Amino acid sequence: MEDLQNQWEAHLTESGLDDQARESKLAQQQAIKTSLESLLPPQEAVLVSLSRMGCSFTLGKPTVKLQEKGRLLAFLLLLQLGLSQLPQLFGYPFTDSTAVYYALEASFLIFPMLSIYHEGKPSKSVIRFILTLVILALVVNLQFKQGKQTGTLTVLHLPFLCILLSAFLQHESSREKQLLLHLQEVGETALLAFLLACAVGTLQLVATLLFESIGLSINKRLATFVLTGILPLLPLTALALKRTVVPHTKAFTRLLSRLFLVPLDLLMLAFLVSALLGSSTMGENRNLLFTVDGLLVLVVLMIFYAQASQTPRFPIILAISSILALLVDLFALFALGTRLFAYGFSPNRAAVLGENLLLALNLAFLAFQLSRNKPTDSLMARFFLVYGVWFLIVVLIFPPLFAYR
């Protein structure tokens, strides 16, 4: 019964209720349990109190289901690992010149496996998703030109396009709920994947040092195997861990979002003050523009994941974060305008311009909604769809539009 109690408390934490409502429900359940303990054994009192709070219980075979999931996971991991090593077996080694091709094909290797594990079987929605990826892979590979700006943009945007396409595997009543639920799961899975990547990097370093101590150099082979075989397995492994071993990662993701927003605000404020007081050369630094875009995307995602953990004061922090990010974005747009005036349009500049304009609109609407303490779920869902359309344009339309340069 202790497990049932813990699961119900975890469900309340993940349901998006504010602290006051959650504490009220917990107190109500505890009061019911206490009143029943004089009539029923303690375990039955817990069961009845949870039932009166709206919980339902079904008989099942969780062990069997877990074993089936485990066998499916092992099969998919082995299949993905085998497929990832096929190019090297057929004389296409991983080198500096071929690394971009490995990066391009990684999405088409990872996301089909994720979709099958997500559904537990190759359902109709999974088959439709995989067929969509097959068509996308054919078009992308036919258009891809190594060393060209459009090729680099395709490699960078393709994973985000696949993430948004896979949202339609969610079984919800509306597209809005599909996107929001999916992106919450993506954030939790990405967090676990990052932690796994840190563990893999640590093990790789230790193994390299150990073998070098006895005169064997394995660094090159090990690094190649980790990059081509192990790292692509981490998203699927992280999803499996989230579904089975570590199911309650949502609260942890929200906590990290809350903790990171304040340092990000300070960073953006310091950047704006330094840029205004100093002589900024941002327009001449292409890498800085990409870095700023990454920072703005991170802020938007932190706001998205932090909203469910709002306390009465927390929306103020979210509003401040969105306003500061909007100011940084406007500064980046001004710098990009000077770069466009000096050098003209190119695929990279067009992509950065489009993304900065979308981010500026997103942040402006977020700041407006958050300053009035209004929900932003519908707003974020609509903008995620717009981002998906933009990623599709960059991946499929940009190469022919800019003559594959």
Give pLDDT tens digits for 273-303.
887 887 656 655 666 777 888 889 989 988 8
> pLDDT category, 311, cuts 50, 70, 90?
very low
> pLDDT category, 73, cuts 50, 70, 90?
very high
Q: What percent of the chain has pLDDT over 70?
A: 87
Position 224 scores a pLDDT of: 92
For residues 274 and 86, give the distance between their C-alpha atoms in angstroms, rounded to a whole number.
50
Position 84 scores a pLDDT of: 94
pTM above 0.95, yes or no: no
The mean pLDDT of 332-337, rounded to a whole number, is 85
Nearby residues of 45 by Cβ (< 8 Å), 6 or more positions away: 33, 36, 37, 39
> pLDDT category, 7, cuts 50, 70, 90?
confident
Q: Identify the residue with better confidence: 23 or 383.
A: 383
The mean pLDDT of 57-77, rounded to a whole number, is 73
| Two tokens, residue 178 | 């599909």
The mean pLDDT of 239-257, rounded to a whole number, is 76
Position 310 scores a pLDDT of: 47
Q: Is the pLDDT of residue 61 over 50?
A: no
Position 218 scores a pLDDT of: 81
Q: Is the pLDDT of residue 172 over 80?
A: no
The mean pLDDT of 232-241, rounded to a whole number, is 93
> pLDDT category, 173, cuts 50, 70, 90?
low
